[in-house]
């Protein structure tokens, strides 16, 4: 198992290098001049000043030189500085990332508990009231965009009822209760879509397992029904659900861009949006590479969990 784990970790290194090269090259091909966002109109009229600034920032160096220099800085932990305001990117991440991770963590826990739980109950009580309601919710959760959910929640619970604030992470002078109230609407919005996906997969895989021959054999031996569900059916139905769950981890970070815009949440999403708009290459490259690393790590978790649940996978390796 250790050999299998190390092999999968080592395979991530060339993938990250390839992704970083593609991202760096793609941003250069956009044709956006980041220097134009840094100067005033008067300074922009003087081409000599623009060239001096490009030379100072190293933007006139050959592509490979700039890429190797940037990659070397990344490996040393120097993420560079934002072209917009000169703030260290590491400081931006340290300030904004906790807010995004907080949303993602709450959404992950709630959607996992609710989605898997309701999906399993729907499969056990097939064609019951919980099953019908769950299937309707699963279809709506996957069909309706997240930002529309967020706007509806703001309209009802913030504007009309006034129960929860519609934006921000804190109110001036607010305490723990105030912070919790700010969390509710964005967390519910992120949870709904992910919960719908997990619910649907958990129900379908559980139904497939319950119709298997070994489940019928376990029942014929007189094993209690609850033990059949928990010990035999639930464990064997968990693998496809865990795959979906792991691949949803990076989507919680990437997908938070829209949610943070709707609720004016001070996370990494707003930084990504403003960096793309302003052509802030250093910030875009670091955040994109960060999301790519999260996706690769999710893929690693899928391989690892699959090997733990099914020894034939690691034996085959």
Q: What is the pLDDT of residues 25-67, one digit of tens each?
A: 877 776 666 666 666 655 556 666 677 777 776 677 777 887 8
Q: State both tokens at 294.
A: 């999260």
Query: Alpha-carbon distance 111 to 124, whole Å?
Result: 19
Q: Judge whether 267 and 96 are in contact, CB under 8 Å.
A: yes
The predicted structure's pLDDT at residue 37: 60
Going by C-alpha positions, the residue among 287, 282, 293, 280 that lies closest to residue 256 is 287
The hierarchical CATH code for the domain 90-316 is 1.10.3720.10
Q: What is the pLDDT of residues 271-293, one digit of tens each?
A: 777 777 766 777 877 887 877 77
Q: Domains of the chain: which residue ranges?
A: 90-316
Residue 317 has pLDDT above 60, yes or no: no
**pTM across the whole model:** 0.71
Average pLDDT, the chain: 76
């Amino acid at each position: 198992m250790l050999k299998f784990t190390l092999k999968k970790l080592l395979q991530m290194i060339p993938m990250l290098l390839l992704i970083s090269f593609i991202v760096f090259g793609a941003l250069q091909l956009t044709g956006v001049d980041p220097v134009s966002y840094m100067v005033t109109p008067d300074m922009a009229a003087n081409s000599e000043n623009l060239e001096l600034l490009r030379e100072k920032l190293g933007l006139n160096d050959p592509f490979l030189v700039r890429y190797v220099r940037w990659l070397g800085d990344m490996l040393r932990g120097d993420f560079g500085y934002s072209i917009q305001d000169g703030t260290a990117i590491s400081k931006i991440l340290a300030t904004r990332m906790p807010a995004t991770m907080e949303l993602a963590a709450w959404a992950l826990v709630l959607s996992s508990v609710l989605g898997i739980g309701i999906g399993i109950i729907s499969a056990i009580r097939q064609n019951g009231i919980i099953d019908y309601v769950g299937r309707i919710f699963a279809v709506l959760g996957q069909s309706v965009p997240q930002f529309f959910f967020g706007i509806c929640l703001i309209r009802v619970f913030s504007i009309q009822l006034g129960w929860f604030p519609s934006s921000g992470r804190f109110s001036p002078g607010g305490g723990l209760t105030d912070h919790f109230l700010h969390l509710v609407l964005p967390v519910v919005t992120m949870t709904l879509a992910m919960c719908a996906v997990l619910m649907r997969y958990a129900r379908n895989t559980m139904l497939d397992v319950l119709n298997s021959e070994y489940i019928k054999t376990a029942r014929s031996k007189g094993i209690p029904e609850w033990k059949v569900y928990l010990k035999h059916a639930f464990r064997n139905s968990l693998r496809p659900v865990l795959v979906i769950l792991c691949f949803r981890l990076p989507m919680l970070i990437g997908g938070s861009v829209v949610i943070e815009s709707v609720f004016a949440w001070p996370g990494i999403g707003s930084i990504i949006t403003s960096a793309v708009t302003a052509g802030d290459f250093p910030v875009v490259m670091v955040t994109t590479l960060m999301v790519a690393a999260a996706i690769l790590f999710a893929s690693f978790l899928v391989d690892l969990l699959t090997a733990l649940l099914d020894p034939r996978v690691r034996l085959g390796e």
